[in-house]
Amino acid sequence: MTLFPEMIDAVMRQSIIGRAQDKGLVEVRATNIRDFAPDKHHKADDAPYGGGRGQVMLAEPLYLCHQALCAGAPVHTVFLSAQGRPFDQDKARALLAKGRFILVCGHYEGVDQRFIDQCVDEEISIGDFVLTGGEIPAMAVADAVCRMVPGVLPDEDAFTAESHWEGLLEHPQYTRPENWRGRAVPEVLLSGHHAKIEAWRREMSLRRTKADRPDLYARFTPRTAQDEMLLRKLEAPD
């Protein structure tokens, strides 16, 4: 639900998600809220009660748009909001499990609270900052969810091995040439020894998380004896 569906279509019809839509694996439908405004001018906002700058999105066009999308059956509804709970990989998995959900993009100074109270199940934020509208956060959420749908990526490892799936950051990646401007690819990646490569990647993932996201590292629970050994190694005094 957006005032600017062309923004959504311009991005979500491209690249991996665009191809997934062409194959019928996912559907990202951008619906124009103005189409449901009851007046002839398609008015979707008005001045806030109590005074103040800017405009507030009207409850009625939002409500009518939402009702049309629900088509008589409840659909989990998310409002993209700076006041929402932080979005993360666990929330992406929870939305994937819904199968179908509605993302509401706010604009201007906000949305009439009565629509939120009536129709919204949860509010989500993509960070502690403010944007001009909810379209960019909505596309980020949609992309994060759609890429986990079976068939969108080549195989499950394409997303389960990446940052945040297990609460860790991803290991460094390298490609050709072996030496670039004096910087060489780590020898273990050229060894062909798959067990050693996987052990190196796991260690680098833990090291990167400890250095760059100590909050995630502190919450990490080892899953294997190898994890426990690596944690002892990282915690040992130099």
User: Above 80 in pLDDT, residue 32?
Assistant: yes
pLDDT at 157 (0 to 100): 59
Residue 197 near residue 174 (C-beta atoms within 8 A): no
Q: Range with the lowest mean pLDDT among 77-81, 92-96, 152-156, 196-200?
A: 152-156
Kindly report, residue by residue over 161-209, the tens digit of the pLDDT. Answer: 455 568 899 999 999 999 999 999 999 999 999 999 999 999 999 999 9
Q: Check residue 166 and give its pLDDT.
A: 81
Mean per-residue pLDDT for 88-116?
Answer: 96
Residue-level pLDDT at 155: 73
The chain-wide mean pLDDT, for the chain, equals 94
* Residue 188 pLDDT: 96
Burial class (CB in 10 A: 0-12, 13-18, 19+), 181: exposed
Q: What is the mean pLDDT of residues 34-60?
A: 95
CA–CA gap between residue 39 and residue 42 (Å, rounded): 6
pLDDT in tens, 104-161: 999 999 999 999 999 999 999 999 999 999 999 999 999 999 999 999 998 765 554 4
Rounded Cα distance between 207 and 132, Å, is: 36
Q: What's residue 156's pLDDT? A: 64
Domains of the chain and any CATH numbers: 5-146 (3.40.1280.10), 164-235 (1.10.1270.20)
pTM for this model (two decimals): 0.86
What is the structure's pLDDT at 162? 53
Q: What is the pLDDT of residue 67?
A: 98
